[in-house]
């Protein structure tokens, strides 16, 4: 004994022994005698053992294996104690392992072997590999047992495999089980093994499959598959193979069957052999062992045709309920073989017999018989006589229907489609009666044409007369086809379905090989429906109009034209384009389309009555017009509904916009925006939550207002906080952002929280105006994809209106405020005005800035008379080679400083500041950078202003100072003028003043100033006159003149 085993033996081992039979008692005695330190717990009944397990945890359980209606004791013990080893006392090792045993001992095993097994389980000492253990457990089993790994490979095969299947175990081991299973059964095996592997330990399932033998035959077996993956001794899936059960008839019946000269055998559901009489045994190529598929037993000449017919029989549900007879022909056999299949409880009984091709009469036909045969052959309809379920006689018309294929010896299943064949068989077995109503269906031979079959059982010799009539050639058949087409058209709504129905009906009426429906387009005929003979499908190609004769075009033939038959030669270019091979073509207009039927039979359409086809074309045209009108009406209603919904939503959005513009302060704008958007609904689902947040410090977001149907829901308000935490850095981005499926990115905690709270769509819209951002609006909806492009566009507009309203409120407040905010920046990038300041090494005092689309006009002064040259052009060379500067000219002086006009041809920091509502005051060169000083009226949103500048220019805020406005009258006058003058009027007036327009004589003309502002001369004059009038009116009427 190993060191580990000895050490374990020194501790007390608890063993629970369950049962009171002799075998269990013998094991208990052996354990008591063989182990020194053992605590033996005896429970004679299973309920007591289960109760004991609730208070005691043994190292091992010993139990007998016995099968009962409620399951084995081992199965119940395994459910209660999944991790405790169970030693089974059984002579059926496989059954015990499947029930849940960890190891198995035979009642006849010696005491030392029993003690060794028990000691190994109780001390949990690994002695050998899982495969070796499983081999030792399964080696002596008489059953065929395979052990599968989780990958489906056979890790072990018991020795019985060789005896049952003629394949040695080592040829099976380490190979996937699918290699030994019939291809048609592999999916069932894979599904069953996977299902058992996924179920709890001990789960068992069964499946019947075909396993390949060493001699190439297939044998039907039942696989019992058990989950033993958690078993430390097996560690896999146990598969036990049980052979199919042979069915032995009663002795008397067996003697009768064996005396028959004809082979009789019984098959199971998978065509496996269950019984064979002596004649069948002699017929088979090998020993007819039960379970072998019959395809492995039948002789080569008849094997394939018999198996094919048997498979077709099994696939026909109607045939499974009543006896069926069919005929098998083989070039290797001189006489056809009749096969009769009789359903049985477990499958079917098959009887084989040879058939005669000719009548048994040795004497020639009489004159009367010859006359009758001539009359029958002259009939236009096919006539067939059945005897014993097979064709005994067929006239010339019947043979012609079958395309001259021999019919004698065939059964109805070979002549007609399954449903029609079943009807013929049923009527042939009835009392002699002439069925007035024919049975309708299709031929299973030749061209699958539709037929009507009149069935008349004859009063003697078990014979049946069948009259077969081609439905395409009969008025009744044509009428039935038209009635079916009308019924089908009534049931469909789309134009495509109507076209397909018309094409299929035309195929029936014409008897052609293919029918296509073409729509006339500007340059070609486009195929819009196709019907073909048989089960295959076909596609037709478009045809260039140049290749289409006028008679085929709907506008050439006329919508009221009748069906016309054409020779293929006349339509050769058309047929080449379509890809249709035909000898004759039939065309007929169907409304604005053309129906084309083609056949490869010469003169086949000559005998076709065109009347039903014309009627069908008229029905199809009317139906297509109706569907087109309905589709157009439906489209109009959809457009109207969409327009109404859009107008209604547009009206609600307009109302929200008016409310925003009427707000008196920023908080009111936020509240009205939340309430307004929360009132919107999508697919009758209102907005769950709407809230506005503002970026207060670049990192933190403050929630300013909230509304919605679930605004009081703690989960949703918590969602808003999570959203802020996740998107703080991008919360105030200039572009809107939406999320249509929060579950797509579960890594974001707010998305997971949103999905759990039922939110399916989220939209964030910035509130901005001319570069200023006043926060963002966030909407949450429970409707997936609620914010489509139209809705998103409308809400983005609300965001812009809210931004404009807030900007106007801030502007009004700034104009009425005495405080002025002075900001000082350092500019770290090139600017045309800063370049001039560095060139003269003097500060530029900015007097007026007029931004334009292309740049702008700036008036500025430079201190010091020595800065500029004294000559006719003192600014010569000042603006040369300066990017973004179009022109510089001296326009006068202000005090002792020279006043210059700068025409900008690109962006400048001065125009950017003015565009955002600031007043640039100076640009001062400092080393390689430039210091910028500007003013903001009122407290305003300095943070938003600075952010707007930093997004466009590389600059840094150095200082922020507050100061009061000087004199109150000046403040009032300034505020009044800013309120009365439009931005364009103020800019035009400043440009005119600094350009010397009001000097005498004028230093610059109005046309020159208008050109610098980028406007026309009449527009400049109108702005100047309106601005002058406004300034004079304010000065004299509101401020008492110049006193």
> Looking at residue 326, which CATH number applies to its domain?
3.30.450.20
How much is the average pLDDT of 410-430?
A: 88
| CATH number, domain with residue 690 | 3.30.450.40
Please report the DSSP string for 298-317 in residue order. S-HHHHHHHHHHHHHHHH-T
Residues 267-289 have pLDDT tens digits of: 887 788 888 888 888 878 767 77
Residues 971-1012 have pLDDT tens digits of: 566 677 777 788 888 888 888 888 888 888 888 888 888 888
Same domain for 854 and 986, yes or no, is: yes
Please check the confidence at residue 126 and state whether its pLDDT lies above 50.
no
| CATH number, domain with residue 101 | 3.40.50.2300
Instruction: Give the pLDDT of residue 432.
Output: 62
Same domain for 609 and 709, yes or no, is: no
Diameter over CA atoms, the chain:
152
Task: Point out the domain boundary residue: 752, 781, 811.
Answer: 811
How confident is residue 960, by pLDDT bands cut at 50, 70 and 90? confident
- The residues near 218 (Cβ < 8 Å, ≥ 6 apart) are 182, 210, 211, 212, 272, 292, 293, 295, 296
How confident is residue 825, by pLDDT bands cut at 50, 70 and 90? very high
How confident is residue 606, by pLDDT bands cut at 50, 70 and 90? confident
How much is the average pLDDT of 742-764?
A: 74
Q: Which of 309-318, 375-384, 643-652, 924-933 has the lowest mean pLDDT?
A: 309-318
Please check the confidence at residue 1043 and state whether its pLDDT lies above 60.
no
Residue 188 buriedness (CB in 10 A; 0-12 / 13-18 / 19+): middle
Rounded to whole angstroms, how far apart are CA atoms 112 and 93?
19
Q: Which of 378-382, 439-443, 564-568 has the lowest mean pLDDT?
A: 378-382
Comparing CA positions, the residue from 378, 636, 614, 645 lying closest to residue 506 is 614
3-state secondary structure of 106: coil
Asked if the structure places residue 655 within a domain, the reply is: no
Instruction: Give the pLDDT of residue 296.
Output: 78
How much is the average pLDDT of 179-184?
A: 88
CA distances from 826 to 290, 571, 914, 939 (A): 100, 86, 17, 22
Asked if the structure places residue 559 within a domain, the reply is: yes
Residues 208-263 have pLDDT tens digits of: 888 888 878 888 888 888 888 877 767 888 888 877 655 566 666 666 667 777 88
Same domain for 1015 and 876, yes or no, is: yes
Same domain for 426 and 516, yes or no, is: no
Tallying the residues shown for the chain, one arrives at: 1043
Residues 530-561 have pLDDT tens digits of: 998 765 556 788 888 777 777 676 654 445 56
How confident is residue 360, by pLDDT bands cut at 50, 70 and 90? very low
Q: How many CA atoms lie within 13 A of 439 on its CB side?
A: 24
Asked if the structure places residue 513 within a domain, the reply is: yes
How confident is residue 9, by pLDDT bands cut at 50, 70 and 90? very low
Cβ atoms < 10 Å from Cβ of 832: 25
Partners of 848 in beta bridges: 859
**H/E element, 30:** helix 22-34
How confident is residue 363, by pLDDT bands cut at 50, 70 and 90? very low
Partners of 585 in beta bridges: 566, 598
Same domain for 791 and 906, yes or no, is: no
Asked if the structure places residue 132 within a domain, the reply is: no
Comparing CA positions, the residue from 483, 430, 481, 491 lying closest to residue 452 is 481
Task: Point out the domain boundary residue: 615, 631, 647.
Answer: 631
How confident is residue 10, by pLDDT bands cut at 50, 70 and 90? very low
% the chain with pLDDT above 90: 6
Higher pLDDT among residues 201 and 880, named by residue: 880
Token representation of residue 1010: 């208008």
How confident is residue 332, by pLDDT bands cut at 50, 70 and 90? low
How confident is residue 461, by pLDDT bands cut at 50, 70 and 90? low
Same domain for 922 and 792, yes or no, is: no
Instruction: Give the pLDDT of residue 821.
Output: 84
For the chain, what is the total number of helices (H) and then of strands (E)? Answer: 32, 40
Cβ atoms < 10 Å from Cβ of 526: 15
**H/E element, 375:** helix 367-378
Instruction: Give the pLDDT of residue 923.
Output: 93
How much is the average pLDDT of 111-119?
A: 81
Mean pLDDT (the chain) is 79
Q: Which of 156-160, 356-360, 646-650, 761-765 has the lowest mean pLDDT?
A: 356-360
Please check the confidence at residue 403 and state whether its pLDDT lies above 60.
yes
Instruction: Give the pLDDT of residue 502.
Output: 93
Instruction: Give the pLDDT of residue 1040.
Output: 45
Partners of 856 in beta bridges: 851, 904
Rounded to whole angstroms, how far apart are CA atoms 406 and 417?
18
Range of the domain at 958: 819-1037
Total domains in the chain come to 7
Please check the confidence at residue 870 and state whether its pLDDT lies above 60.
no
Asked if the structure places residue 753 within a domain, the reply is: yes
Asked if the structure places residue 648 within a domain, the reply is: no
How much is the average pLDDT of 399-412?
A: 82
Token representation of residue 385: 């006589």
Token representation of residue 21: 């039979």
DSSP 270: T
Q: Which of 55-64, 448-457, 689-698 has the lowest mean pLDDT?
A: 689-698
Please check the confidence at residue 416 and state whether its pLDDT lies above 80.
yes
How confident is residue 833, by pLDDT bands cut at 50, 70 and 90? very high
Same domain for 204 and 269, yes or no, is: no
Same domain for 404 and 431, yes or no, is: yes
Asked if the structure places residue 646 within a domain, the reply is: no
Instruction: Give the pLDDT of residue 6.
Output: 34
Rounded to whole angstroms, how far apart are CA atoms 839 and 197?
85
How confident is residue 831, by pLDDT bands cut at 50, 70 and 90? very high
How confident is residue 922, by pLDDT bands cut at 50, 70 and 90? very high
Same domain for 866 and 999, yes or no, is: yes
Same domain for 911 and 1023, yes or no, is: yes
C-alpha torsion sign, points 839, 840, 846, 852? negative
Identify the top-confidence range among 321-325, 330-334, 850-854, 910-914.
Answer: 910-914
Higher pLDDT among residues 119 and 564, named by residue: 564
Instruction: Give the pLDDT of residue 68.
Output: 62
Q: How close are the terminal C-alpha atoms of the chain, in Å? A: 126
How much is the average pLDDT of 708-736?
A: 70
How confident is residue 127, by pLDDT bands cut at 50, 70 and 90? very low
Instruction: Give the pLDDT of residue 248.
Output: 61
Same domain for 903 and 790, yes or no, is: no
Task: Point out the domain boundary residue: 631, 654, 677.
Answer: 631
Please check the confidence at residue 325 and state whether its pLDDT lies above 50.
yes
% the chain with pLDDT above 70: 81
Same domain for 872 and 928, yes or no, is: yes
Rounded to whole angstroms, how far apart are CA atoms 565 and 456?
38
Asked if the structure places residue 658 within a domain, the reply is: no
- The residues near 227 (Cβ < 8 Å, ≥ 6 apart) are 196, 197, 199, 200, 201, 202, 203, 204, 237
Instruction: Give the pLDDT of residue 761.
Output: 85
């Amino acid at each position: 004994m190993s060191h580990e085993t000895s050490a374990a033996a020194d501790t007390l081992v608890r063993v629970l022994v369950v049962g009171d039979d002799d075998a269990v008692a013998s094991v208990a005695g052996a354990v008591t005698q063989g182990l020194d330190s053992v605590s033996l717990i005896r429970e004679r009944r299973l309920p007591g053992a289960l109760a004991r397990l609730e208070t005691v945890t043994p190292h091992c359980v010993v139990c007998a294996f016995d099968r009962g209606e409620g399951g084995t004791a081992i199965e119940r013990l395994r459910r209660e104690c999944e991790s405790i080893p169970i030693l089974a006392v059984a002579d059926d090792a496989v059954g015990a392992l499947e029930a849940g045993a960890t190891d198995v001992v035979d009642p006849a095993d010696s005491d030392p072997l029993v003690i060794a097994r028990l000691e190994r389980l109780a001390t949990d000492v690994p002695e050998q590999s899982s495969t070796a253990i499983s081999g030792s457990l399964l080696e002596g089993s008489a059953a065929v047992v395979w052990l599968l790994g989780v990958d489906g490979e056979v890790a072990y095969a018991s020795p019985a495999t060789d005896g049952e299947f003629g394949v040695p175990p080592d040829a099976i081991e380490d190979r996937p089980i699918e290699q030994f299973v019939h291809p048609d059964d592999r999916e069932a095996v894979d599904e069953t093994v996977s299902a058992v592997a996924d179920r709890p330990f001990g789960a068992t399932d069964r499946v019947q499959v075909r396993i390949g033998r060493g001699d190439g035959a297939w044998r039907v077996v039942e696989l019992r598959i058990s989950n033993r993956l958690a078993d430390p001794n097996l560690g896999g899936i146990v598969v036990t193979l049980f052979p199919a059960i042979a069915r032995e008839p009663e002795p008397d019946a067996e003697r009768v069957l064996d005396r028959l000269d004809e082979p009789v055998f019984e098959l199971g559901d998978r065509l496996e052999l269950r019984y064979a009489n002596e004649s069948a045994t002699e017929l088979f190529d090998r020993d007819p062992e039960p379970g072998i598929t019959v395809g492995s037993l039948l002789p080569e000449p008849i094997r394939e045709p018999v198996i094919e017919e048997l498979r077709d029989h099994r696939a026909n549900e109607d045939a499974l309920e009543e006896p069926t007879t069919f005929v098998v022909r083989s070039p290797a056999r001189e006489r056809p073989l009749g096969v009769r299949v009789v359903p049985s409880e477990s499958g079917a009984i098959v009887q084989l017999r040879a058939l005669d091709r000719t009548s048994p009469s040795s004497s020639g036909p009489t004159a009367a018989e010859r006359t009758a045969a001539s009359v029958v052959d002259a009939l236009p309809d096919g006539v067939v006589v059945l005897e014993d379920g097979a064709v005994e006689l067929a006239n010339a018309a019947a043979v012609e229907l079958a395309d001259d294929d021999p019919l004698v010896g065939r059964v109805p299943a070979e002549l007609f489609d399954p449903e029609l064949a079943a009807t013929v068989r049923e009527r042939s077995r009835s009392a002699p009666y002439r069925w007035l109503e024919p049975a309708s269906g299709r031929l299973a031979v030749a061209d699958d044409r539709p037929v009507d079959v009149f069935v008349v059982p004859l009063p003697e010799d078990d014979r049946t007369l069948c009259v077969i009539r081609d439905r395409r050639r009969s008025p009744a058949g044509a009428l039935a086809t038209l009635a079916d087409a009308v019924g089908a058209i009534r049931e469909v709504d789309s134009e495509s379905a109507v076209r397909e129905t018309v094409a299929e009906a035309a195929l029936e009426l014409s008897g052609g090989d293919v029918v296509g429906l073409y729509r006339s387009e500007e340059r070609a005929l486009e195929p819009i429906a196709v019907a073909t003979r048989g089960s295959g499908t076909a596609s037709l190609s478009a045809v260039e109009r140049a290749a289409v004769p006028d008679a085929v075009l709907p506008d050439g033939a006329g919508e009221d034209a009748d069906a016309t038959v054409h020779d293929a030669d006349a339509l050769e270019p058309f047929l080449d384009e379509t890809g249709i091979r035909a000898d004759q073509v039939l065309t007929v207009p169907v409304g604005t389309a053309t129906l084309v039927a083609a056949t490869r039979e010469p003169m086949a359409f000559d005998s076709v009555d065109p009347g039903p086809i014309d009627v069908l074309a008229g029905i199809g045209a009317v139906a297509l017009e109706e569907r087109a009108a309905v589709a157009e009406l439906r489209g109009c209603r959809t457009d109207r509904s969409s327009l109404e919904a859009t107008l209604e939503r547009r009206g609600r959005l307009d109302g929200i916009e008016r409310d925003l513009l009427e707000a008196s302060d920023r908080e009111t704008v936020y509240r009205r925006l939340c309430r307004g958007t929360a009132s919107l609904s999508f697919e009758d689902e209102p907005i769950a939550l709407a809230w506005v947040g503002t970026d207060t410090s670049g990192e933190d977001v403050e929630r300013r207002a909230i509304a919605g149907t679930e605004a009081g829901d703690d989960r949703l308000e918590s969602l808003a906080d999570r959203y802020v935490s996740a998107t703080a850095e991008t919360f105030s981005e200039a572009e809107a952002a939406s999320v249509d499926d929060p579950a797509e990115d579960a890594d974001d905690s707010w998305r997971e929280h949103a999905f759990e709270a039922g939110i399916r769509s989220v939209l964030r819209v910035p509130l901005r105006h001319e570069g200023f951002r006043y926060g963002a609006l966030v909407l949450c909806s429970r409707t997936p994809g609620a914010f489509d492009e139209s809705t998103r566009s409308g809400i983005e507009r609300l965001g812009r209106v809210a931004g404009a309203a807030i900007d106007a409120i801030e502007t009004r407040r700034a104009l009425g405020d005495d405080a002025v905010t002075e900001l000082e920046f350092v500019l770290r990038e090139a600017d045309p005005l800063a370049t001039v300041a560095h060139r003269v090494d003097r500060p530029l005092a900015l007097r007026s800035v007029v931004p334009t689309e292309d740049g702008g006009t700036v008036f500025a002064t430079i201190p010091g008379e020595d800065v500029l040259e004294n000559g006719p052009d003192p600014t010569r060379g000042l603006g040369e080679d300066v990017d973004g500067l179009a022109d510089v000219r001296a326009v006068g002086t202000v005090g002792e400083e020279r006043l210059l006009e700068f025409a900008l041809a690109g962006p400048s920091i001065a125009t950017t500041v003015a565009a955002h509502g600031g007043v640039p005051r100076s640009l001062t060169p400092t080393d390689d950078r430039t210091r910028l000083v500007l003013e903001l009226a009122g407290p305003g949103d300095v943070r938003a202003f600075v952010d707007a500048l930093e997004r466009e220019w590389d600059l840094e805020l150095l200082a922020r100072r507050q100061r009061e406005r000087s004199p109150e009258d000046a403040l009032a006058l300034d505020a009044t003028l800013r309120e009365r003058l439009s931005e364009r009027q103020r800019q035009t007036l400043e440009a005119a003043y600094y350009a010397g327009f009001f000097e005498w004589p004028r230093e610059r003309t109005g046309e020159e100033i208008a050109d610098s502002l980028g406007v026309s001369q009449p527009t400049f004059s109108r702005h100047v006159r309106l601005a002058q009038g406004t300034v004079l009116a304010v000065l004299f009427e509101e401020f008492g003149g110049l006193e």
